[in-house]
């Protein structure tokens, strides 16, 4: 769900950047910067959820820990 929202946001911003009147080099620089920002956001969201999952698993009693 988070990745879907990030994907939609990325698509919208990319379309906005492509429609905006800018020189090619400036446009490519903006796209690279935005892509880096999105990747960082996605990585942070993934790590946050993975850490939360691991904390939840560690809190469970040994008889209820799922086998991964």
Distance CA 33, CA 30 (A): 5
pLDDT digits (tens, 9 = 90+) for 26-40: 877 888 888 888 888
- Residue 6 near residue 34 (C-beta atoms within 8 A): no
CA distances from 47 to 14, 58, 64 (A): 25, 16, 23
Distance CA 31, CA 60 (A): 44
Distance CA 29, CA 35 (A): 10
This prediction has a pTM of: 0.47
pLDDT digits (tens, 9 = 90+) for 9-59: 778 877 777 777 767 788 778 888 888 888 888 888 888 888 888 888 777
- Residue 17 near residue 34 (C-beta atoms within 8 A): yes
């Amino acid at each position: 769900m988070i990745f879907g929202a990030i994907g939609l946001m990325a698509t919208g911003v990319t379309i906005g950047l492509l429609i905006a009147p800018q020189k090619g080099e400036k446009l490519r620089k903006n796209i690279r910067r935005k892509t880096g920002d999105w990747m960082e956001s996605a990585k942070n969201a993934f790590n946050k959820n993975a850490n939360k999952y691991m904390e939840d698993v560690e809190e469970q009693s040994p008889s209820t820990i799922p086998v991964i």
